[in-house]
Amino acid sequence: MRSTFAAHGSPRTIADLKKHTCLGYTLSRAVGADRWTFGRDGKAVVAIRGSLKANNGDALVAAAIAGQGIVYQPTFLAACEISAGLLIPLKLDHDPIELGGVYAVYPADRRPPAKVRATIDFFAERLKRIPPWEMAE
């Protein structure tokens, strides 16, 4: 990442990403191998370039730490590396896309047992505030 910043500066807009080496994630429609999507509604799309593409977010985070390019991954994959100062979050002109949520799946034809309901309620309350991977240690 240092080399891409040295050559092109730190990106300030999503359009600036076109000048940088970006690490493509191959298993997502929103954050893909050749384009990244931004904004709450996902309508801001930027084409990216880079020779490293992978179907594993942890591998891409490791590649970014090794200076291979800019990575666009959920905070739960990079929180430790950000806290340790190994990765620096970029402040761009668009927010990251919201990739979804945490879901509890159970049969629709019956209510979950009390212990399952209590667990769902606990996690819903806990994750509504700050996700554990974003909390200071």
Confidence label for 1 from pLDDT (cuts 50, 70 and 90): very low
Please indicate, yes or no, whether residues 79 and 107 belong to a single structural domain of this protein: no
pLDDT in tens, 45-76: 999 999 999 999 999 999 999 999 999 998 88
Domain boundary among 39, 54, 83: 83
13 CB-side CA count, 13 A: 4
Whether 107 maps to a domain, the answer reads yes
Please indicate, yes or no, whether residues 109 and 67 belong to a single structural domain of this protein: no
Please indicate, yes or no, whether residues 109 and 60 belong to a single structural domain of this protein: no
Whether 93 maps to a domain, the answer reads no
**What residue numbers bound the domain in which 61 lies?**
2-83
Total-model pTM: 0.75
In terms of DSSP H, where are the helices of 9-113?
Answer: 57-65, 75-83
Amino acid at 114: A
Q: Provide the number of structural domains found in the chain.
A: 2
Please indicate, yes or no, whether residues 66 and 124 belong to a single structural domain of this protein: no
